[in-house]
Amino acid sequence: MKAVCRYGDVADRLPLGVPMNKGLTVSTGQTHVQHCLKPQLERIEHQDIDHSFVISHHLMLDDAPNAYRMFRDKTDHCTKVVIHPGMKAKA
């Protein structure tokens, strides 16, 4: 991002003063997720794509707070958690 200006306050709720004063470069990008999402989900549903290597945990909705902590703290080799609202506890 390049901005040649006099910094006053907050531009569109984005505090530009800190990166400006530190001389930082800010870059952004965008992916075309909406364009690719439906075909990719269909391929996963038809099992044309194996997504199991990404998902490390399948948990019940009641376990969501612990799942968040596990993901945040990188414990139990957690890479991606899928929450199943209707999933029952294992007997």
Residue-level pLDDT at 91: 56
Quick one: DSSP state of residue 62? G
Residue-level pLDDT at 10: 54
- What lies within 8 Å, CB to CB, of 3 at 6+ separation is 16, 20
Q: What is the pLDDT along the chain (91 residues), one digit of tens a residue?
A: 555 555 555 556 677 777 778 888 877 776 677 788 888 889 988 999 888 888 999 999 999 999 999 999 999 999 999 999 887 776 5
Cβ atoms of 61 and 87 closer than 8 Å: yes
Residue with tokens 């099992």: 47
d(CA 68, CA 75): 10
